[in-house]
Chains A and B, each alone.
Chain A
Amino acid sequence: MAITAAQALAASASDGGSTRLEVDVAPRFAAGDRIRTRNINPRGHTRLPLYLRNCVGVVAADLGVFVFPDTHAHGGDQKPQHVYSVHFSAKDVWGREGGERDTLVVDMWDDYMDPA
């Protein structure tokens, strides 16, 4: 059934749209870990941008457990896993075109990374 205006306004003010999961999943990484992003080229959905494939970075923070978009977009499997805030040096990502002091900070799921 269609939601009413009151239900729509309440939903828009709630955290019901969050894909954070309150489930116990062991993290594969911790703040300070050096990681290398995977070189994946899936035909389906992914949130690992092209420019950050096969790049070395450092985990800055564990943001908690979330739905994994690569599976969730195809059949709805949530595949719960940790998401981390990861710092990449612009020089490492872009080579000589990258700013000497500049940093890219990007959220990464467990399945996007290996230890470096």
Chain B
Amino acid sequence: MASSAHTRPLSEVEIRVKALESLLVEKGLIDLAAVDALIDKYEHKVGPRNGARVVARAWVDPAYKARLLSHGTEAIAELGYTGMQGEDMVVVENTPEVHNVLVCTLCSCYPWPTLGLPPVWYKSAPYRSRVVIDPRGVLQEFGLQLPESTEVRVWDSTSEVRYMVLPERPPGTEHLSEDELAALVTRDAMIGVTKVSA
């Protein structure tokens, strides 16, 4: 990155970012070490692997699952996942009868401590506009065809409560350890646009 930065002109947005950052540093409003630390944390340490640990624990420990569904924030904090954009967590369980899927039609609200920062498609107009009016069509775009008998529940995150889906444990995984189960769990399944497969 550093070498290529010298061989091409800066884009307009790069110029705007550098200008803003340098002025904020000069005025003593931000410390670049704090900016760097946050980038490192959310690029390397926070992500859907956290949520996958929560899901796997719920699959192997019925008491934990009960706490997770009744007191999401506290149960997730038991595994060490807390903080920004996860201050008030509600976990919703997918079953053969009810399939939950998450969206934020107004901006891009997303549970950062368990799922990390959201993918571009989650933040973009096509998904945000359509999943509330045609959830089954959207799920088909992700390769998920649900039976007509399943109720689809679309959770539109308008408030500061953040949601996460507890996917169904796939059949044939009875012999797997908690770690092996966690490795199966995907980000998309915890948003509710796919299921977990073994």
- Residues on A facing B (Cβ under 8 Å): 1-9, 11-15, 17-20, 47-49, 51, 63-64, 66-67, 83, 85, 90, 94, 97-109
Contact = CB atoms under 8 A, between A and B. Distances in A.
Contacts of A98: 133
Contacts of A49: 105-106, 156, 158
A107 B158 contact: yes
Contact-residue bracket for chain B: 35 or more
B196 interface: no
Interface string B8-31: 000000000000000000001111
Q: Is the interface of B mostly helix, strand, loop or mixed?
A: loop
A65 to B, nearest CB: 12
Contacts of A108: 158
B133 A94 contact: yes
A34 to B, nearest CB: 18
Contacts of A85: 90, 161
B154 interface: yes
- Report, nearest first, the 7 A-B pairs whose CB atoms are least far apart: A107-B159, A18-B87, A8-B34, A5-B37, A13-B83, A15-B87, A2-B31
A20 B154 contact: no
B160 A4 contact: no
A19 B84 CA distance: 11
Nearest to A19: B160
B152 A99 contact: yes
B82 A104 contact: no
A1 B28 contact: yes
B123 interface: no
A41 B152 CA distance: 29
B161 A99 contact: no
Contacts of A51: 105, 132-133
A20 B28 CA distance: 30
B132 A17 contact: no
